[in-house]
Amino acid sequence: MSALILDGKSLAAKTEAELSQRVAALKAANNGQAPILATILVGGDPASATYVKMKQNACKRVGMESIAVEMAHDTSTEQLLAKIEELNNNPDCHGILLQHPTPKQIDERACFDAIALAKDVDGVTCLGFGRMAMNEEAYGSATPQGIMRILEGYAIDMSGKHAVVVGRSPILGKPMALMLLNANATVTICHSKTQNLPELIKQADILVGAVGRPEFIKAEWIKDGAVVVDAGYHPGGVGDIELAPLVDRVAAYTPVPGGVGPMTINTLILQSVAAAEKSLG
Ligand code: NAP
């Protein structure tokens, strides 16, 4: 069996073409005003700086603008909250991205939750999470929402399937599990205290790896015909799942790179355009 490659890169490129048209229409209807995403980077972590740059570049590709806020490594929670408040009140800013992780002294949860719901285009607030969980309108957390868009884009059947999510972080594993549940999958969530991880993974019709450890999930734990989604990305182009031995015996898989990563950024941009459409009318 040759597996279907869930090509996030080409799906993202296709969506960018559509988004460019939506942005052009917004500009035409609003005196040339382009939608604006504010990115906030606190501290000089090189990986975070690269992710923010990639998000700003994606804005440019579809004709959006970005406000790049860079704050010092020793920024306090109060200073960051004040900056978020300023952006909440700025009518020219349609979406706010606070790059995770922030330095240790910052109460990241408080800062995420200070983002106005209408501008929470990265889907990080508790309010947005709760609304998403209840199947109410909300911007989903960008990585799991991007994964759902890949699964839907490739018409992967989720209803009644056993989905196993390895990882339960607030921005990835936990919202992922609820999104799959809302798509009528039967969901198992695994984490660092889970016992018998290989046995649970063996039951997965759909497996999502979001562990943060290179090739932690072994190919031999995964059953033939599964749909495999690898959210991890590590230096050297490896993910959280040992993918190479699987490509001839699973039904479908996301490549690393070129799978989940491009769809995460694309989802942020898609949700920013949607927020601007709501705000600009
Ligand atoms: P995280 O906050 O570090 O969470 C890791 C999760 O894995 C935790 O829930 C942890 O369990 C669980 N875990 C750790 N060791 C485990 C073990 N031995 N067995 C089972 N579960 C274990 O990471 P994250 O932010 O969710 O990111 C996960 C991965 O996705 C990383 O590789 C990251 O690079 C990648 N990522 C990619 C994108 C993208 O755009 N492509 C975006 C975000 C993240 P506990 O809760 O019990 O500690």
Residue 260 CB–ligand 1 contact under 6 Å: yes
Is 168 annotated as contributing to ligand binding? Answer: yes
Look at residue 281 in the predicted model and tell me its pLDDT.
74
Query: How far apart are the CA of 261 and the centre of ligand 1, in A?
Result: 14
Q: Is 122 a catalytic residue?
A: yes
Look at residue 97 in the predicted model and tell me its pLDDT.
98
**Out of 56, 83, 99, 271, which one is annotated catalytic?**
99
Q: How many helices (H) and strands (E) does the chain have?
A: 9, 9
- CA 150/CA 2 separation, integer angstroms: 19
Residue 192 CB–ligand 1 contact under 6 Å: yes
Look at residue 1 in the predicted model and tell me its pLDDT.
67
Which residue's CA is the closest to the ligand 1 atom numbered 40? 261
Residue 211 CB–ligand 1 contact under 6 Å: yes
Nearest to 34 by CA among 281, 279, 278, 276: 276
Nearest to 253 by CA among 165, 158, 172, 150: 150
What angle in degrees, to the nearest 10, is found between the helix axes of 142-153 and 260-280? 100
Task: Enter the DSSP assignment of 252.
Answer: E
4's enclosing H/E stretch is strand 4-5
Q: What is the pLDDT along the chain (281 residues), one digit of tens a residue?
A: 689 999 999 999 999 999 999 999 999 999 999 999 999 999 999 999 999 999 999 999 999 999 999 999 999 999 999 999 999 999 999 999 999 999 999 999 999 999 999 999 999 999 999 999 999 999 999 999 999 999 999 999 999 999 999 999 999 999 999 999 999 999 999 999 999 999 999 999 999 999 999 999 999 999 999 999 999 999 999 999 999 999 999 999 999 999 999 999 999 999 999 999 999 87
Contact call for residues 162 and 203 (beta carbons, < 8 A)? yes
- CA 93/CA 83 separation, integer angstroms: 12
Could you give the strand order of the β-sheet that contains 36-42, starting from the edge strand earlier in sequence? 65-71, 36-42, 95-98
Residue 197 CB–ligand 1 contact under 6 Å: yes
**Out of 7, 122, 205, 230, which one is annotated catalytic?**
122
Q: Please state the pTM of the whole predicted model.
A: 0.98
Which residue's CA is the closest to the ligand 1 atom numbered 3? 212
Look at residue 30 in the predicted model and tell me its pLDDT.
94
Domains of the chain in sequence order = 31-116 (3.40.50.10860), 142-261 (3.40.50.720)
Look at residue 174 in the predicted model and tell me its pLDDT.
98
The ligand 1 atom at the shortest distance from the C-alpha of residue 211 is 7
Which residue's CA is the closest to the ligand 1 atom numbered 36? 232
Contact call for residues 202 and 223 (beta carbons, < 8 A)? yes
Q: Is 92 a catalytic residue?
A: no
Residue 209 phi/psi, 5-degree rounding, is: -100, 115
